[in-house]
Structures are given as C-alpha cells and as structure tokens.
Structure 1
Amino acid sequence: MSKRLIDYGQGQMGEQPEDNTEKFKSFMENNPDAISIVDLEGKTLQVNAAFEEFFGWTNDELIGMPFPIIPDFLKESVNELHDQIKAGVQKKGFETVRLRKDGQLIDVSISLFNIRDNENEPCALVFVYRDITNQKLAEAALKESEQRYRSLVEVSPEAIFVHRNGIIEYMNPMGAKMLGMDSVEDIIGKSVFQFVHLESRESVQKRIEIMRDDHQAVGLLEQKFIRLDGQEFYGETLGLPIIYKGQPAIQVFCRDITERKKTEELLCKSNMLSAVGQMAAGIAHEIRNPLTTVKGFLQLLREDPEQKEYLEMTVSEVEKIEILANEFLSLAEPEAKVCELIQLYEILDSVITLAEFQAILNDVEIIKEYNADSASVFGEPNQLKQVFTNVVNNAIEAMPNGGKLHIQLNHQGESAMIRFIDQGCGISNERMKHLGQPFYSTSEKGTGFGLMVSTKIIHEHNGEIHFSSEVGEGTIVDISLPIYESSQ
C-alpha cells in the first residue's frame, strides 16, 4: 500500500532520499488516525489501515476512484475546499461529517494539506480524519442538560443569581422582579451589596468569604434586602461556589419570605394576646375570691368591730393575695441568688421537720431513705427548700386518708437524685400534660404557680424535674441536681 504511494510520489516529485521514504511509510502505517491521499482530480491514491477500519473501504477498492466518503450534500463545498488547499491554505481540525461504506454518517475532525513536487507545485492532497462521534454526543448531552437547567432556572419561582467578586453576572427573571427591576439587563453588572440591607451586610460578607475561600456551600439564612425603590423585604438565601463561564463564581438562591414573616409576627402577637388574656382571667379569678371574703368581713367589722375572728379571716385572705402576688414576682423578676455549698440531707431534714405537723394531721408517715448523706450541691438554699416544701406539701395533700411518703436521696453518676414517692390518688395522663401551666393545679386551692416556680428553680440550678403517676397508685417526683465536684 505504502509502496504505491511512494512510487507515485517518486514519479511526481522525483527521487526522494531513502530516509524520507521510510519516515513517510512509518507515518502512514502507524498513525491511529484515518489518512487518505488523493490527486488533484479527487481520485484516491492511498489510504492507511486506520482509514480502512474506520470507513469500511479497502485500499484496493479506492485506488483510482473518486472519493466515496463525501455525502452528496457536501460535494460542492468540498470542491471549494480542495481549491483552497491547492492554493496553499492549510486546514486543521475543522469539524464536518463523512460517509461510511455502510451508509452511516459520522462526525469527524479533519486536518488537510497538500504535497508539492520539485517545482513547488501541488501534486496531491493529504486528509487526516479523527472520529469525534463520542465528543459530539457528549457535547449534545451537555448542551441538552444546560438548556434544561437554564429552562428550570428561567421559570423558577425563586430568585437565582450568579455573582463574581460581588458583581452580578447573571439573574433570572424572578430575581429581577424581586429586586424591583423591569428586566434582567438592568441588574447585570451591579454590586450585590447595593441590594443588601445594612443589618445583613456583615453576615452576607462572611458567607461570601466562606464560599470563595473555603469552597463550601452555605445553608439557609434569613437576611434583609432592599429593592430598587428602597422598600425593605426579608429573603431566605442559600449559596454555593460554582464555575461560571470558566471562572470561579457564587450562585445564590433567594426566596422572598416577607409575607411569611408578617404572618409569623401576627401569630406571635395573637398568641401573646391570648396568653395575656388567659393570665388576666386567671389573676382576676384567683384574686376575686379572697377579695370577696375581705370585702364581706370588712362590712361585718364595720357593724361589729369587736369580732376578732372577722379580722383574722380578713388577714388570712389578704395573705393569700400576697402569696399570689409574690409568685408572680418570682416569675417576672426573680430575686438575686446568693449561691453556696448545700448539703441536701440538711435541706430535706429541715423541710420534713416543717411538714411533720401537717403529716400527722393527715395520718401520713414520712420515711427517709438516704443513701448519699454526703451529697452536696451548689445553689441557693432557700429556693431549693421552697421546691422541696412544695413537693412534700402536695404529696401530703394527695393522701387525705393517710399513707406513706418516701423521701430518697441517692447518687446517680455525677448527679444527686431526690425522689418523693407518695401513695395518693395519683394523676391521670390527661392531667399530667397540663402540669406546670399557670392556673392549673391538682389541688382545689392551688394556682398552679407553685409547680411552675419549682420547675424554673430546678432548671436554674442545672437540674431536671420529672413526674410519673398512676391513678389510685400514687405519684413519683424525681429531681436531679449536679453534685458539687469536691463531694463526688
């Protein structure tokens, strides 16, 4: 095969040095690209093995024949191309289609040049073909993917924009609308900070630095923005670093949540008003009863000032009002705590001593079960005493027909566990859900604030309080408090 081309070349261009002949032969036989050589009339002189495999024609089928790989619809343009090559123009890597023997059109990249004789006149044309079918398929798939992505972005109900170094390079129609622009073109080239509220500029700058320097995406964040007309709105944004037009950039997704924020604010205000209304009704209810009694006894005292029992009853009812007011104050403005090291068994013994008289009246036996006498905590003794007293009093009131109240003190890891177990009437699951709510109490005389204050105190001491109960079986109150390090 190469010999025919060499013979042709020697006949057209004169004798060539032997080393050039061998180089040309090696170039043809070992090149993985399909190569063909045609004369100036378009007849085939030589093709290599890669050409035979690629296009399906053998060298013997093509010798002296017009070039069959050119589709009919391209023959005119190919003739013009041949004229250009004859004139000395070289073509490298231009893309087109060619025809295989089986009739299939394939995408190829072609480089071509001419061969000149001893008088420097064109005597033949060399064509080098490279299969780019897979490349074209990949390009088509990429183009289709880009078009599909662009379509999604263009019709997205959320604002999507791309900026580089803070300068906006792309924005979808929703983004322009969100910022008060008539068209996308009005915003390209502007700084993102022109539309960021002063309150949010620092957070926006930090997020940009994370995406730019650390190449990390940033999650959803509520931020404040400014439209072109100066109107403020809230947006929920997330961003990620991308490559845009071959250069690093940042893509941002933004959703206008102004209406949602307004709804949340209205809902919050509504809940606050509802809570205030419930509290006001509860306060009025709790205070009205003792006030009615006070008013009645004062009227009786006016008629009969010598009745001391009226005065004592009046004082008692006023004290109830005072207790209620103090409970409100402890919730709103708690007194400053003076914390100290506390031995829990000492506080519990003090509470039991105070509750013994009420326990005797209710036929309740208080049983101490201390397994951690040395457990000490750091806190405010009067507040903890208030909590334990409230729990013990509630337990005794829950056993009007008598029973046993077990008070246990144990270690559990790094915490002290105080457990109160009574044999009272118990609390139903439905009522357990409401424990700790103001004006909800399991006691007929209670306001519900005692438990609420107790829970607050325990939490302020970094502890936990838990209730478990069964109707007819009794109630268990577990209180855990962190043990002071030196006592562990």
Structure 2
Amino acid sequence: MSKRLVNYGQRQMGEQSEEITEQLKSFMENNADAISIVDLEGKTLQVNSAFEDFFGWKNDEIIGKPFPIIPEFLKESVNELHSQVREGEQKKGFETVRQRKDGQLINVSISLFTIRDNKDEPSALAFVYRDITDQKLAEATLKESEERYRSLVEVSPEAIFVHRNGVIEYMNPMGAKMLGMDSVDDIIGMSVFQFVHPDSLETVKKRIKIMRDDYKAVDLLEQKFIRLDGQEFYGETLGLPIIYKDRPAIQVFCRDITERKKTEEILCKSNMLSAVGQMAAGIAHEIRNPLTTVKGFLQLLRESPDKKDYLEMTVSEVEKIEILANEFLSLAEPEAKVWESIQLTDILDSVIMLAEFQAIINDVEIIKEYKKNFAWVLGEPTQLKQVFTNVVNNAIEAMPKGGKLHIQLKYEGESIVISFIDQGSGISEERIKHLGQPFYSTTEKGTGLGLMVSTKIIHEHKGEIQFSSEVGKGTIVDIILPIDKNSQ
C-alpha cells in the first residue's frame, strides 16, 4: 500500500528520483508523528500509519479526497495558511485543533512546509502533527492552580512577598499595608533590607544565605522591621526558596505580631507585680508573727529583767526571722555548698529533739522507726536539716487535735527513702498537684516558701520529694536520696 501511495504522490508532485522516493517513504513510515501530504488543491496524497492511528482515517478512505481533518469553523483560515506556505513561508510548531474521524477535536502542534518538483516549483504541502492534548490539559490545570493560588495570596491576611537578591519582585496588598505603602506597585523594585531593623539585619542576611545557597526553608522567627514612615514593628517570618518567573527567588510570609508582643509585655508585668505582691504579703506575714512575740517578750523583760526564759524565747523568735531571710536568699542567690558524707539518723534525731516541744503542745507523738547509724548520703547537713524540720513542723501543724507522726527509713535499690507519716486531716488530690510551687501552702496562713525551698534543696541533692494523702486519714511525705556508696 505504501508503494501505491508513493506512486500516487509521484504522479501528483512530478517525477522524483528513486532515491528521494525511498527517503520520503522511510521518513514517513518510521516517524512517530502523524504525517500527511496534500496537493496544492487540498486533496490528500499520502499519510503514514501514525496518521491512521491518530486520526482514525484509513488510507483508502482519505487518499485523493479533500482534507477531512479540518473542522468546519477553521477551513477558511486553513486556506489562507496554505496560500502563505505556497508562497514560501515556513510554519513550524504552531498550535491549533484538528478533528478525528469520530468527530472529536484534539489539540495538535503542526509543522508545515512545501515540497517542490524538479523545477523548484511548489508541488505539494507536507504536514507533521503532534498530539499536545496532555500538554494543554497540564497547562490549563497549572494555570487554574496558579490563578487559585494567586487569589489566595492576594486576599491573605498575612504579608507575602518574593524577592531576588534582596530586590522585591512581588508583594500582596497586605504586605504593602504592613510596610506603610499605599500601593503594591510602589514597593516593587525596592530593597528588602530597607525595611529590616538594624537589630535583625544580620539574622535576616544569614537566613537569606541559607535559602539561596543551600536551597532550604528557614523556620519561623520573630524579627524587627521598619515601616516606610520609620515606625518599628515586630514580625513573625517564614521563608523558603522558590522558582519565580523561571528563576530562583525567595518567598517570605510575614505576620505583624506587634500587638501580641505588647500584650505579652503587659501580661509579664502584671504577673511580676502579682508575684511581688504575693511575696510581700508572705514576707510580712512570716516576719510579723515572730516580731509580735519578740515585742511581747521585750516588754516583759523590761518589767522583769531577771526572767531568763523570756530572753531565750526572744532569741528563738529572732532566729526564726533569720531562717526566713535565709530562705529568700537561697532562692535568689544560693550559697556555695560543702558536700560531705552524712549519717541521716543523726540529723533526724536532732530535728526530732528540736520539734519535741511543739509536738508536746499539740499532743503529737513522734515515733522513730529506724536504727541508729542506718544510712549515709552525700550532701550538705544544714540544708537537709532544714528540709526535715520543715516536713516535721508541717506534719505537727496538720494534727492540731493530736496524733502520731511515724518517721521511717528504708532502702530501695541504690536510694534511701525517708518517710514521714502523719495522722492529720490529709490533702486533696487537686491540692497535692500544686505542692512545691511558689506561694502555695497547705495551710491558710502559710506562704509555701518552706516547701518550695525544701523541694529545691532535695533536687540539688539529686533526690525527689513525693506526696501521697487521703483526706481525713493523713499524709505521707517520702524523701528519696541516693546512697553514698563510699561510706558503706
């Protein structure tokens, strides 16, 4: 069939050499693109097999007939095109639509050129068709996506801009408004560094370098900027490298957080004032009680100078004030500690002896459930004594109607557990969660400083304080400390 088509084409185009005929045949039959040759009147002379597959027309149906793949609405413009090509113009890669046998319109790219006879006169036209349906569909999808993205960017409540080498090439309306510009067009071509505060300039340059050289996005970061009128503001920015107009660029998202920063500052000041107020109230309360006692005993000493007991009580109350002051100092500026190997039972005995008087007044019995020289730990003796004293005093205060306070020691792995078990009113589960926090106390008149300092001391000794309680039955305080293996 191919030979018959070539022979038919030769009769229409004029005699060609056998070599040229074979070249034409090979070119058409081995080409993946659809190819057709028509005479100067528009009748089909020859098509290749790719043309048959592409358009659905068989050779016998189309040879010698007017070109059937031209849609009716394009025939007039095609005639003009043929005239231009016959006059010597070349048409390569122009895009249009053609019609298949089933009537379906398809997008094609066409290259069109003239075939000349031995006298160099136009004898036929050759068409090469390439299916670009998928390409056009992809372009339409991309265009739709770009338009949708642009519409979202244009109405975004956040500033979005694109810059290349520090020069702004795109900015949405919110960006212009944030920088104090009346129009987006006014900012295009300006340097991005013009709007960066000197405090943030080096950081911005480093982030740009990462995006430009390493082609990596940068994380969200707070930075300071300057509006066109010189007003400063805080922005939260996120940047990433992109391809913009076929060239590498940087896209930046920016949110004005100036009001948020102001709110945070006001809140911080409010919290600070609240903390200072609570601390002042706590200090006043803690110091007022021993001062009242000191004042009373001093008045008694004035009347009875020989009463030695009054003097001792006065000194005791002054020492309480000193302890309170030391607690505040230890929170603000801890003293240098001298760590040593400590026998816990010695410290506990000392604490119990000092608490006996208060225990007797409150009808509390302190029961020691440990052996002498039972356990050694590494730490600072005075601080541990302070912790145990605080826990014992709290336990006694929790039993105003009397009761028993059991103090136990036991080993658990490489730690030793000191348990203080009272028969007080107990603490609710909700209140236990807050124990150890500043200014939180289990008593109405307490400030929580003692427990807060105690928690801090135990943590510095690489230990823990644990609380368990049942309302109406009592509380257990477990202090866990690592054993000093060198003293075993």
TM-score range, shorter chain: 0.7 to 0.9
**Matched residue, 1:411:** 413
**Matched residue, 1:384:** 384
**Matched residue, 1:32:** 32
**Matched residue, 2:341:** 343
Q: Deviations over 1:24-82 (max 9, x none)?
A: 22222232222111111112222222222322333223233222222233222212211
Q: What displacement does 1:222 show?
A: 1.2
Taking only the aligned residue pairs, the percentage that are identical comes to 75
Q: What displacement does 1:250 show?
A: 1.9
Cα 1:50–1:440 change in 2 (3 A) is closer
1:162 counterpart letter in structure 2: V
8 Å CA contact retained: 1:369, 1:409:
no
1:352 counterpart letter in structure 2: D
8 Å CA contact retained: 1:372, 1:410:
no
Secondary structure of the residue aligned to 1:350 is: helix
8 Å CA contact retained: 2:90, 2:112:
yes
Q: What displacement does 1:129 show?
A: 1.0
Q: Deviations over 1:187-216 (max 9, x none)?
A: 223332222222222322332233233333
1:69 counterpart letter in structure 2: I
The CA distance in 2 between the partners of 1:92 and 1:349, in whole Å, is: 103
The CA distance in 1 between the partners of 2:226 and 2:485, in whole Å, is: 54
Cα 1:462–1:167 change in 2 (3 A) is farther
The CA distance in 2 between the partners of 1:124 and 1:213, in whole Å, is: 56
Q: What displacement does 1:355 show?
A: 1.9
Q: What displacement does 1:313 show?
A: 4.5
**Matched residue, 1:256:** 256
8 Å CA contact retained: 1:369, 1:408:
no
1:196 counterpart letter in structure 2: V
Q: Deviations over 1:318-351 (max 9, x none)?
A: 333333223222222332x1343x335x244333
Q: What displacement does 1:84 show?
A: 1.7
Cα 1:3–1:441 change in 2 (3 A) is closer
2:50 counterpart letter in structure 1: A
The CA distance in 2 between the partners of 1:51 and 1:177, in whole Å, is: 58
Cα 1:72–1:447 change in 2 (3 A) is closer
**Matched residue, 1:475:** 475
1:419 counterpart letter in structure 2: I
Secondary structure of the residue aligned to 2:370 is: strand
Q: What displacement does 1:5 show?
A: 4.0
**Matched residue, 1:153:** 153
The CA distance in 2 between the partners of 1:175 and 1:475, in whole Å, is: 61
Q: Deviations over 1:289-343 (max 9, x none)?
A: 33344444545555665655555554444333333223222222332x1343x33
Select which of 361, 365, 368 maps to 1:366.
368
Cα 1:122–1:138 change in 2 (3 A) is same
The CA distance in 1 between the partners of 2:374 and 2:126, in whole Å, is: 100
8 Å CA contact retained: 2:57, 2:101:
yes
Give the length in aligned residue pairs: 480
1:438-477 aligned within 5 A: 438=438, 440-442=440-442, 447-477=447-477
The CA distance in 2 between the partners of 1:480 and 1:215, in whole Å, is: 52
TM-score (norm 2): 0.88
8 Å CA contact retained: 1:180, 1:227:
yes
**Matched residue, 1:223:** 223
In structure 1, list runs of 5 or more residues that go unmatched. Answer: none
1:87 counterpart letter in structure 2: E
The CA distance in 1 between the partners of 2:126 and 2:12, in whole Å, is: 15
**Matched residue, 1:334:** 334
1:404 counterpart letter in structure 2: H
8 Å CA contact retained: 1:55, 1:101:
yes
Cα 1:189–1:384 change in 2 (3 A) is farther
The CA distance in 2 between the partners of 1:333 and 1:462, in whole Å, is: 19
The CA distance in 2 between the partners of 1:81 and 1:487, in whole Å, is: 106
1:314-329 aligned within 5 A: 314-329=314-329
The CA distance in 1 between the partners of 2:487 and 2:471, in whole Å, is: 38
Q: Deviations over 1:112-170 (max 9, x none)?
A: 11110111010000111111111111110010001000110111000111222333222
Q: What displacement does 1:465 show?
A: 2.7
Q: What displacement does 1:434 show?
A: 3.7
The CA distance in 2 between the partners of 1:204 and 1:364, in whole Å, is: 66
Q: What displacement does 1:446 show?
A: 5.1
Residue 205 of structure 2 corresponds to residue 205 of structure 1: yes
1:2 counterpart letter in structure 2: S
